[in-house]
């Protein structure tokens, strides 16, 4: 099932409190959600992934908490039984990184995860955490792989999820739309 682009001014109603952004690799999903949380202007908790480049070539990713804490997550030089493409994935290090983030702090207005993807889902701890965060009353904003395994597809099909398809043409307007949607959700649905 391909996600459809939602029109601007979508009103989130009912039990939807989880907003997920999907799209092709490199389209700007991470940039979009970071712009959206800047516009929200409330206490947000979570992490995003940042590319590591060497001489213009992508060689890995690091996980970056919103408090600035960084952790190498995957890299072409990591020797690991966990691999996605050319990248070795440090699952144990990622699990340790996740433990340092106060996802369940009652002061959180919003929880952010970038991304629910192949590399992250190698961690059983991450998969359990993602489901738990989708289940709590605090609004959730994240990115999710356009195509994924059964776990990822099940997340996207949840009735409490609104899925936004980002493209190069709509990404600037979508950041504002998502920020406004989050503000309307409030801290506790």
pLDDT of amino acid 186: 65
How many Å apart are CA 103 and CA 182, to the nearest integer?
17
Q: What are the residue ranges spanned by the domains of the chain?
A: 18-47+103-185
Q: Which fold has domain 18-47+103-185?
A: Rossmann fold (3.40.50)
pLDDT of amino acid 14: 52
User: What's the pTM value of the predicted model, to 2 decimals?
Assistant: 0.87
CB 114 within 8 Å of CB 49: yes
pLDDT of amino acid 187: 54
pLDDT digits (tens, 9 = 90+) for 68-116: 999 999 999 999 999 999 999 999 999 999 999 999 998 999 999 999 9
pLDDT of amino acid 188: 46
Residues lower than pLDDT 70 in the chain: 1-14, 186-189
pLDDT of amino acid 1: 36
Among left, alpha and beta (phi > 0; psi -120 to 50; other), residue 31 is alpha
Q: What SS3 string covers the chain?
A: CCCCCCCCCCCCCCCCCEEEEECCCCCCHHHHHHHHHHHHCCCEEEEEEEEEEECCEEEEEEEEECCCCEEEEEECCCCCCCEECCEEECHHHHHHHHHCCCCCCCCCCEEEEEEECCCHHHCHHHHHHHHHHHHCCCCEEEEECCCCCHHHHHHHCCCCEEEEECCCCCHHHHHHHHHHHHHHHCCCC
């Amino acid at each position: 099932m391909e996600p459809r682009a939602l029109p601007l001014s979508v009103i989130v109603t009912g039990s939807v409190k989880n907003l997920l952004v999907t799209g092709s690799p490199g389209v700007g999903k991470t940039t979009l959600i970071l712009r959206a949380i800047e516009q929200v202007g409330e206490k947000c908790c979570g992490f995003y992934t940042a590319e590591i480049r060497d001489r213009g070539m992508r060689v890995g990713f690091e996980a970056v908490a919103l408090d600035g804490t960084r952790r190498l997550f995957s890299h072409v030089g990591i020797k690991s039984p966990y691999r996605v493409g050319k990248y070795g994935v440090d699952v144990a290090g990622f699990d340790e990184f996740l433990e340092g983030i106060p996802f369940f702090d009652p002061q959180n207005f919003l929880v952010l995860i970038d991304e629910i993807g192949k590399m992250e889902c190698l961690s059983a701890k991450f998969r359990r955490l993602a489901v738990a965060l989708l289940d709590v009353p605090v609004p959730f904003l994240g990115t999710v792989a356009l195509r994924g395994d059964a776990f990822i597809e099940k997340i996207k099909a949840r009735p409490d999820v609104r899925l936004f398809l980002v493209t190069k043409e709509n990404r600037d307007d979508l950041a504002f739309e998502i920020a406004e949607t989050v503000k309307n959700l409030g801290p506790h649905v």
